[in-house]
């Protein structure tokens, strides 16, 4: 058998293995991108990243997201907090949290998802789902974040858009008790970390699962948050760890140098 035929057969076997592994990944991560799948469980194969992406894309693994069209921010007051994070440099968790609200449609009814994300590690630290845009759901997400972190949070910056939920008296009282500084954006790109998170949870996970009521949505959201936090590689974290892996390695002192992160000013990170 000629070397050319042997190389061709070997290449076909590698491509087939990559496709099989990608199919396994997509069972839990229905729309994880080709590059992230390579980082997660394909990089050990004797195939380069770009070539692996070509193989997967040509096999139908390209991701296409639907457009977001429902408004979730309603500002009812001219009062707002200044933006405290633009151009800020941070070097650890619990220095900046971002929060946002998005919608998810179930059986022709819209439910609203609230997320709170630690910007440094990209970990979802608080989340909630409700049938309305009332501030109570945001307060539940905030309390969940407090319970998860379980430590002093004084000095933490809480960054949001100018939605009415974030000027709610009860919500701001929770922040004040923890000595957390509120911060607000003027434009959507100033809240882009959490804006991007919204799309990932909805489009890579929830819309691929059989969700038919609020209880199922709550359970599915718990699962999606777990997969995002614990398994999904993040391209902006060192060594492309998942958020939880990144925090664990950070706490264990396994990085040669503590990563320094500069909050975007005019660019939106991907």
pLDDT tens digit string along 124-160? 999 999 887 777 889 999 999 999 998 789 999 999 9
> Cα–Cα distance between 197 and 204 in angstroms, integer?
10
pLDDT of 175 over the 80 cut = yes
Provide the CATH topology of domain 89-262: Nucleotidyltransferase; domain 5 (3.30.420)
- pLDDT value, residue 5: 57
Structural domain spans, the chain: 3-58, 89-262
Q: What is the pLDDT of residues 180-206, one digit of tens each?
A: 999 998 776 777 888 889 889 998 899
Decide: 90 and 263 in contact? Cβ < 8 Å: yes
Global confidence as pTM:
0.73
| 157 Cβ contact list (under 8 Å, min separation 6) | 84, 85, 88, 95, 96, 97, 180, 181, 182, 183
Mean pLDDT of 163-172: 87
- pLDDT digits over 42-63, tens only? 677 777 777 777 777 776 666 6
Give dist(CA 205, CA 113) in Å, integer. 13
């Amino acid at each position: 058998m000629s070397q050319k035929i042997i190389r061709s057969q070997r290449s076909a076997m590698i491509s087939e293995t990559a496709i099989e592994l990608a199919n396994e990944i997509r069972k839990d991560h229905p729309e994880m991108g080709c590059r992230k799948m390579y980082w997660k469980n394909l990089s050990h194969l004797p195939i380069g990243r770009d070539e692996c992406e070509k193989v997967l894309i040509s096999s139908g693994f390209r991701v296409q997201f639907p457009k977001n069209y429902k408004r979730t921010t309603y500002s009812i007051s001219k009062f707002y907090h200044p933006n405290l994070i633009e151009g800020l440099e941070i070097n650890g968790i619990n220095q900046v949290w971002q929060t946002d609200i998005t919608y998810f449609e179930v059986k022709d009814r819209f439910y609203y998802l609230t997320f709170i994300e630690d910007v440094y590690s990209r970990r979802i630290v608080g989340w909630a789902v409700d049938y309305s845009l009332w501030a109570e759901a945001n307060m539940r997400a905030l309390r969940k974040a407090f319970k998860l972190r379980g430590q002093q949070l004084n000095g933490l910056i809480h960054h949001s858009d100018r939605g009415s939920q974030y000027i709610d008296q009860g919500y701001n009282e929770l922040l004040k008790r923890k000595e957390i500084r509120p911060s607000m954006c003027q434009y959507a790109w100033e809240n882009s970390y959490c804006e991007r998170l919204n799309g990932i949870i909805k489009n890579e996970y929830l819309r691929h699962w059989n969700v038919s009521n609020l209880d199922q949505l709550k359970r599915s959201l718990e699962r999606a948050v777990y997969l995002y936090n614990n398994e999904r590689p993040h391209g902006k974290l060192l060594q492309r760890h998942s958020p939880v892996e990144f925090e664990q390695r950070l706490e264990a002192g396994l990085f040669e140098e503590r990563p320094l992160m500069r909050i975007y000013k005019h660019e939106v990170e991907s």
